[in-house]
Structure 1
Amino acid sequence: MVAEQFESLADLRANPLRPFNQTEAKAAQAALKEIGQQEPLVAEALKEASPLKDFLVAALSLSPFLKESLTIQPSLLAKALREPLETLLERAVTTARQSWQPGETATPSEAEVMAALRLAKREVSVLLALADLSRMHDARQTTAWLTRLADAAVAASIDHLLLAADTSGKLKLADRTDPSRDCGLIVLGMGKLGAGELNYSSDIDLVVFYDVETGVLPDPLEASEIYGRMMRRLIRMMQERTGDGYVFRTDLRLRPDPGSTPLAVSVEAALIYYEGRGQNWERAAYIKARPMAGDLKAGEDFLRQLVPFVFRKYLDYAAIADIHSIKRQIHAHKGHGAIAVKGHDVKLGRGGIREIEFFAQTQQLIAGGRMPPLRARRTEDALAALAQAQWIKPEIATELTNAYWFLRDVEHRIQMVRDEQTHRLPETETELKRIAFMMGFDDTKAFSEHLEAVLRIVEKRYARLFEQEAKLSAADGNLVFTGQNDDPETLNTLSRMGFERPADMSRVIRTWHYGRYRATQSVEARERLTELMPELLSAFGRSKRADEALLRFDGFLKALPAGIQLFSLLGNNQNLLTLVVNIMSSAPRLADIIAQRPHVFDGMLDPGLMAEMPTRAYLEERLRVFLGGARHYEDLLDRLRIFASEQRFLIGIRLLTGAIDGIKAGRAFTHLADLIITQALQAVQQEIRQVHGDFPAGRVAVIGMGKLGSHELTAGSDVDVILLYDYEDGALESDGEKPIDAVRYFTRITQRLIAALSAPTAEGIVFEVDLRLRPSGNKGPVATRINAFRKYQEEEAWTWEHMALSRARPICGDESLMSEAQQVMEAILSRPRETAKIAADVAEMRGLIEKEKPPRDLWDLKLLPGGLIDIEFLAQFARLIAPFAPDDAESQEPRLTGTGKALSRYGQGILTQDELELCLGALRFYTELSQIIRLCVGSEFEPKDAPAGLIERLCVAADAPNLKLVEADIKRLSKSVRSAFQATLRRASSG
């Protein structure tokens, strides 16, 4: 005889459950017939037409999972027809809870426990599906029974694992008949499991802690390994799919900092973490936390200790800002557009379950510290408590409670179709009809209208809760970075923003929120970063290669000592935010500098950065102030290194943003080098003087060569120098405590200067120093006396050395020696020369370079035929054969060492006017591109691998719409420059 309860449940004449379609109905009838062949009670009950038969046909047609489960285990339907539903559910849960217990003869194996739990899960799932669809149960009862089953399954598994550990000697339990009692192993149910509101096909979220003080561990040092192995077995027992199915997918990633902690965490470590690094979303998560397995008493004690972390004592501005930041984390969206039913996520979408939960949790966190009744785990209870406390109006509580359970019903039916963990409504009309019928609606139109009305109510209440915020987000979509699970909507949002690997980027961002970096360890820093996140991600998304930019920003954050100030500044300064994104997306080299030495970023905080040009006077004044507090030699050198790296970086920023062009950047980098070398030389001389004294009438001067001499340094240039000296004839040694001869004295000055500039330290190096342009090159002494320098240049130097001399200029040192060196160089350069021979030498040297160091590709702007070397050689050639201009001696800059100025002055009459203008234009073009490339990526530029921001910057610099046209300009100019170079030398040779 069929149980009366089921006859009454099937009496749905007023609003019967409708089958999905005729095809599915026939398949359901066939399945029921097959079940009846094995279960006579089922065959008898369904022999005649009846509401019960109609209901079962409809239910099985709508839920493939239900049909499959009953076909596999027909006895379940027979049980449901024979006995009261509550009795069956109670028995299944009890069986699951007792599955670990030893029998009269043996203790169940792990496989036997797993099998018992899976059979119980199938039975409960089938019974609840029948009860739910027949409307005997509502969502409250369904979630409660599912939670009870999860509690029983996890508790039984924990007891089994504890008993096994005791048997193997890993643990020493207080009571083998009650393994969990006083064991110190705490298993907390989180989320819907903790609240007693588990989904039909939900994961279960667990957090596991252990107390080493309970005495159950023979060796407390092995706790992490023992409990970690136990948790891996727990996960296997819960979620491994066997022939009997699975119990629950199990997630332990809500534990503290899951990326770097074991599956079970000690109580002491957990409390330290939550006190110092606990995050906003973790506070919200612990509202629902509940001890549900293991040592329940220890679990309650642990949660009591967490109360101050979850519920703050005072309602202050910081707490409210904290809550707002959670809101942005959990669900950021822009505006309030239309809600579409098809494909809508009833959990995370607008107006969904998450918004109702967060509506309650937000206010619980704000006021729960002062009002303990608000600390309810269940959403419905929390809304009721908020209304009771007059925190919200009673009608709002009722409205949201009704909406919550309606949406949970929809969620259950979505999952009930195929036992899939999804919260998204079908995209197709046909599949949406299935959900509508399962909900008891006549068609999709009626269901959609009702669902839209519910979603709009929730969305309205949720939005009003934070309507005081003028700006919710810069992103149109979810931006959820809580816990360890990727939110599918967030991944879609990141993808739409322009990120190619949204899952990887989401994982990186979660790292920031876990406080693993010094910059994000404080609660305040994470709050500021969370508020900044939508704008930051949108800005990265606009940079084309968003992933690369974000990863470079991650490197920057990793090295940053503190983050609150920076995040606050970026949040309130759009220009600064744009600049940071520009660096990360365009200039890997600058981004690396920031990551390695975050202090260089400080200069970017100067609001006048772009307005102030980096002139020599500007840099000199800042260096004077910066060195003012130096206490000793090493301190001064460290300050020089810091100043050099910061100012080189800031000059680069001006170049990157277009505030200065490549030629001005070259002069600025050179001014900086001049000032640093000057200070370093003075410091070195003072150090030498303290040990060795002065050398009688000793004089020292540093001569800048190469790009240093011509004011054309780039961000990554070496500095080429020569150190000249002189002293009183007849002097044999210095006059200090440790006197030394002249060669050693001035050699030591040179060596100490090189070390001061290029020795690697914690603050890096100032410059790589190159001495190869000194007389006799690497074979000669590192320091040269002025008369030896004169003699070498007059008698031994090659043409190429005189060409190099045309770019040389005194940098610093004794004024009289600098002047004497200048006169020597002027005299050498002004000597009459045989034009044809010099032309032949220049052509030979250019050919040799081309043979030994051919250009890598078109973008090797220095070595490219018709590139920078050709133009530099023309300027140097012109200087060597040009007659000495009589007004040079009276000029403030008697000899022009810069390539462009030298070419303009000395090239007249040697090149045609067209050739001169061509070369000057090409020089500006090459300089601009090469300065940007050296700044952003170093010496080598590969277009296919270059950051999109760099390519864009190069196109702007070249005034071209794309890189192909820039390359076309390079080809055209280089070909023309090479022709001018060859024509000039031909004319000079023929004479």
Structure 2
Amino acid sequence: MSEPLFSRLPARPVPSGDAGGALLAPRFSRYLHRIVSARPACAASLAEAAQSGQPLDAAWLEARLIPLRERAETAVGPGDAALGKALRWLRQDTMALIMERDLRGLMTLAEVTEAMTLLAECAVRTALAQLTADMAAQVGYPVGEQSGERQELIVVGMGKLGGRELNVSSDIDLIFLYDEEGETAGGKRSLSNHEYFIRLGRRLIQMLADVTEDGFVFRVDMRLRPNGDAGPLACSLAMLEEYFMVQGREWERYAWIKGRVVSAVESAHSRNAVGLLEQLTTPFVFRRYLDYGVISAIRSLHAQIRAEAGKREAGLAGHALNQRAFDIKLGRGGIREIEFTAQVFQLIRGGQDPSLRVRPTLQVLALAEARGLLAPEAVVELSTAYRFLRQLEHRLQYLDDAQTHHLPTSAADQQAIAAMMGMDSYDDLLAALQPHLDCVEQQFEATFAARQEGGQCGSIWQQCLQGEASAETCRAALQNLGYDDAEALVARLRATSEASRYRAMPDSSRLRFDQLVERALELSAKQDHPDRTMGRFLDFLEAISRRASYLSLLSEYPQAMARVADTLHASRWAADYLTRHPQLLDELLDTDALMALPDWAAFRQRLTSQLAMSDGQVETQMDILRREHHAETFRILLQDLQGVLTVEQIGDRLSDLADAMLDVVLETVWQQLPKRHRDTPRFAVVAYGRLGGKELGYASDLDIIFLYDDEDERAPDVYATFARRVITWMTSHTAAGILFDIDTRLRPNGAAGLLVTSFPSFRRYQLREGDNAAWVWEHQALTRARYCAGDREIGARFEEVRNEVLAQPRDAATLREEIVAMRAKVAEGHAHASDMFDLKHDTGGMVDIEFTVQYLVLLHSRTHPVLRRNAGNIALLHMSGALGLIDATLARRVADAYRQFRARQHQLRLDDGQSPARVPLEEFAEAAGHVRALWHAVFEG
């Protein structure tokens, strides 16, 4: 130990033979210099162990503790004192090895924090086991009053211990819990369980935290327990549950993100108690909805932390880097800001995305990138800064084993820290540090800065709140902004302000609501139809007024508010959809995701992963399905409103989405079917109608049938139950809404037939002899049918049967007569007396086109196999023209007419929900004339 303290750190990594195998770290650490001086005999073995490459894992700790414990018992005799001494020596040895390897570049940050975490767990578990056994001789073991089972102290690690990120000189934040009240049994006297666990907890703290001649094992902080220092040292799960419900505070949600049981759980009863603890903490920490209210709450908490850090820095030497006392944990751009940036995504979304409920900060950042919540470059910068700051934090603590995060004030310490960070000088260190602090601060401000935009219309809403005296002023202001019916709007605003819903809002929500109404007045005034848009805006804001989280989102993200205005203005259907499903506001935050092409394979994988995390929680899984379906539908809708999708592309995407949902539901429901007789069902779904033709609309139901091919004798009953459950999962109303309405009447024998059909039966049914009109109608339906989900082999065999049916020889006159008769029957069911043109059902409309195409497919598929493709009516018309089956020019005109009809029908349904879709006759007179001409040529010529 002749080397001077704080000598220049050699270039890393240091060769294994450096300094003759002597420890390098004591040159930089006064703490380790003292330890090695006090225990010179261990220095050589530690130097050898440091360079051995053996991981500092749980096995190493347990093996190392054995001889240390024996030596301690030889020195002071068996008992608590010996274990305490051995644990303190174990910490010294572990710290020495960590310092040595870290400074030699032989240990990553993750390995350092994991080793410290394992040391804490080993210390807690070892001490707890001995103390429990020691107390048993006097008071026995605690027994649950209700269960009669032995109880154990459940030690929850919070903070960095819970997150497996413990730093080298950290204290450990603990909470002591137990399952049931009761009394101890088997000892000389009895204690209540409550008193027993308090005594055990006190002894555990003393074992770990008391400072002796050998130092301490870990400082212990119990202030995160319910009611902090004023609360009992140990509390039951029932007490914890009541506390969460009645007194749990916002900052405690952040703390419990990291909460993790770190004590050994010996019995099945205790393992069950740990499960109960998770059930208590999860809903407390993670809300079922998107919780944007946490942004302002974290902002407020962070402001308090910054203020406190500023006071401490001022008391030392200032808070700027060149004033040397800067706090790299709590100061601007410090570690805490990185942690808050990661945690906010967990708190906002963790209730709906269980994968975000992880604890390590770097892992959360990686998930935020994977979920598109943070840009990749931001994650790289934050992760790099986090590693740099945590390594710097460790080197600050290496000096004296002090729990410090302040940059040093003495020149000698500054040089030592610079050397440990591999820098030539302290100025170089500060130059390297500053860019990290800057990027962290910028990202934190981008995430948490108050972004409310003041509107120009604040006086209007405020005057409405003042009553009738200001009504005329409000009307004049609204007219100046371009509102057409200012009087009606003033009345609506007044009604909103006087409603019980508004008056019942908490002050914080009412303030946000007021700001949003002001902004809505400004945004709506910029639209083509400001009165209509503002009316929809008020409907929407009133619908979300009791959900503080949604008000927070719109307040925090002005760009989302602007997109809401565009959406409400563009379509009544879109406005109603967003009002029914306000959780979709979250989709308005990411422009790139909104405009991206769908990746259905990735969608299935992501959805399946989310469902797996909630396995066994049927209602939660149903809600996940609905939320994801609503979100994808909304993305399609927004692209539709932007005009970037054709009507055909909209139908394709909505149909692909329905296929994906069916596939995932089939897989999920089958895994939960109690009587399933095989791992993978031999079961498929076939789509008819709009889904079959890939022309699905936003609110279309699904025409489907279920097929199976399984010779097991249980198959009919099992698959019937399976199909019923699939329908229930798709059609049930939950808190998140509904997926689809399902129509299965197109199955063999219609509503009178079996819900599921074996494939051989389906084949026989489709290929049976017959020439009645009902049979032709089924073959017409088959022209728009396709396999859409489930067993691909059955799907392929269905397509073979479909081709075989379509290829059957048919008599043209008979087929023509039957289809004309069926068309007349359909027309009778949709007659109307108005002078408007029904785009779908009137002569010259969409049904005429569809029946014409079906006739051509059924008549000519035998000689022209290309017509068997389920390519859609437009493509089939072009094929028929190219094949000379109909006039090619007329085919092109009718295809254009069909596209125009569908687009107009789509527009009407989006604009005002009009169904049936009817327009002035003259609007499509020419297009309808082309359709009638084709009908005449095919059926009457």
Task: Please give the TM-score of this superposition, normalised by the length of structure 1.
Answer: 0.45
User: Between Structure 1 and Structure 2, whose CA radius of gyration is higher?
Assistant: 1
